[in-house]
Amino acid sequence: LVARMRPFGTTIFAEMSALAVRTGAVNLGQGFPDSDGPPEMLAAAAEALRTGQNQYPPGPGIPALRRAIAEHQRRFHALAYDPDGEIVVTAGATEAIAASILALCEQGDEVVCFEPYYDSYAASIALAGAVRRPVTLRPGAAHADDRLVSRAGRDDGRYAFDPAELRAAFGPRTRLVLLNSPHNPTGKVFTPDELALIAELCREHDAYAVTDEVYEHLVFTDATSGHVPLATLPGMRERTLRISSAGKTFSCTGWKVGWVSGPAPLVSAVLRVKQFLTFVNAAPLQPAVAVALALPDSYFTGFRDDLQRRRDQLVAGLTDAGFDVLSPEGTYFVTADVSALGGRDGVDFCRSLPERCGVVAVPTQVFYDDPEAGRRLVRFAFCKRPEVLSEAVTRLRRLA
């Protein structure tokens, strides 16, 4: 194995899902729903399989899907992208992230990202020979810039970063900032003020932005603000590659259909890389995702409301079981501090949890460069049926 990949072992998601299977535990680790997405989408995929849409589709994705992606961004974010040249379909957001970094970063270029970060970020940055410059998100972080302070401290469940730390992370080698909002694993939704500062620094340092917005439809109604794509801020559309995926919004994480949108020169650079990573992506799933993206607004709000109820159920259950819970504003995930239950280390806690009470969670410590920052935090997924969440809570109560 090449040196640059040696620091990366088996992903925590694979380890924890295998542990769940081996022990028969309730799996609130890896983030995947346990029920299917919209029936119209599933029917369209079956129809495409039956009607011979089974050979290589065009490299950037079928035109109908690219048009649907453009239309969806216009409808929800008033963002205009040309389906011919400004949008490329990828093998999930994962390929879009890797291809974007590989297309933009020279050896030694720096990538600013927020830790804890989604696990593929560090590996994609390493594969490109680039260097990550993490900025730490901390629960209720207190710092000098009053605009960005999470006022109620950690009790309000918000993670925040220190603006001085972000400023210091930018420098002459900064090539891009990799931003994930709504954020996995914290459930944080970056506020307009936070986004404005990130945009200001990108403009100041002439850096690109790669935005991972796979949870764009999962911002709950009581969040401080709605989802604001970084590309909508002044001067940002021309320097941003905006990434999303069908997996989360349409409960089909196993389909791996994602996409990247941006100005033509950047998207064509991504396509240059993408053609040698996967060439093209699963043909019969593309017309189906096009159907899903065109569903009425009520699908998207209904989906969000449903997940919000599940969040409320799990947050209440975890609190009841004695966890110190940081309630999320978006995504599939809630994080909790295990100190209140006597836990000293999230990794040890999660490895012993199936045996202690038959539940699997994910330690978020593994998503930090500085493990100390996330030492006692663990993540639970609530994208599960209410009866599954309720069973998990019953089991977790045994810990007290």
Q: Kindly list the residues in this chain that would bind ligand PMP in the complex (CB under 6 A).
A: 92-94, 118, 180, 184, 212, 214, 245, 247-248, 253, 256, 258
- Minimum Å distance from CB 96 to ligand PMP? 8
Tell me how far apart the alpha carbons of residues 159 and 231 are, in angstroms, rounded to a whole number: 22
CA angle, corner 350, sides to 348 and 353, nearest 5?
Answer: 105
**CA atoms of 307 and 302, how far apart (whole Å):** 9
Closer residue to ligand GLN, CB minimum distance, 174 or 331: 331
Query: With DSSP H G I counted as helix, E B as strand and the rest as coil, what are the percentages for the chain, rounded to 5?
Result: 45, 15, 40
CB of 314 to ligand GLN, least distance (A): 15
* Nearest CB to ligand PMP, comparing residues 253 and 365: 253
Instruction: State the amino acid at position 122 in one-letter form.
Output: A
Q: How far is the CB of 362 from ligand GLN (least distance, A)?
A: 7
336, two tokens: 């909790």
Minimum distance, C-beta of residue 252 to ligand GLN, in the bound complex (Å): 13
Of 97 and 321, CB closest to ligand PMP = 97
Q: Which does 186 bind (CB under 5 to 8 A by kind): ligand GLN, ligand PMP, none?
A: none
Shorter beta-carbon distance to ligand PMP: residue 379 or 395: 379
Under a CB-based contact definition with an 8 Å cutoff, are residues 106 and 125 in contact?
Answer: no
Binding of ligand GLN by 13 (CB under 6 A): yes
| ∠ CA 71-77-83, rounded to 5° | 30
Residue closer to ligand GLN (CB basis): 239 or 248: 248
* Euclidean distance between CA atoms 95 and 118, whole angstroms: 13
* Least separation in angstroms between CB 278 and ligand GLN: 16
User: How far apart are CB 354 and ligand GLN at their closest, in Å?
Assistant: 17
How far, in Å, CA of 363 to CA of 279, rounded?
A: 35
Query: For residue 260, what is the enclosing H or E element?
Result: strand 257-261
Phi-psi region of 82 (alpha: psi -120 to 50; beta: other; left: phi over 0): beta
Residue 346 in the binding site for ligand GLN (CB under 6 A)? no
Residue 159 site contact among ligand GLN, ligand PMP, none (CB < 5 to 8 Å, cut-off depends on kind): none
CB hemisphere CA count around 398 (13 angstroms): 11
In the bound state with ligand GLN, the residue whose beta carbon lies nearer, of 31 and 358, is 31
> CA nearest 184: which of 8, 397, 383, 351?
383
Site for ligand GLN contains 8 (CB under 6 A): no
Which of positions 17-76 make contact with ligand GLN (CB under 6 A)?
A: 30-31
Nearest-approach distance from CB 49 to ligand GLN, in angstroms? 25
Residue 217, SS3 per DSSP: coil
Name the residue nearer to ligand PMP (CB basis): 132 or 395: 132
Least Å from the CB of residue 30 to ligand GLN? 4
Q: Segment 183-212, which members bind ligand GLN (CB under 6 A)?
A: 184
CB of 11 or CB of 390, closer to ligand GLN: 11
- Element holding 120 (H helix, E strand): helix 119-127
DSSP lists the bridge partners of residue 210 as 178, 241
30's contact among ligand PMP, ligand GLN, none, with CB below 5 to 8 A by partner kind, is: ligand GLN
Q: Minimum Å distance from CB 300 to ligand PMP?
A: 17
Q: How far is CA 393 from CA 31, 71, 313, 320, 390, in A?
A: 17, 41, 9, 9, 5
Closer residue to ligand GLN (CB): 208 or 382: 382
Exposed (0-12), middle (13-18) or buried (19+): which is 399, by Cβ within 10 Å? middle
Residues at the interface with ligand GLN (CB under 6 A): 11, 13, 30-31, 184
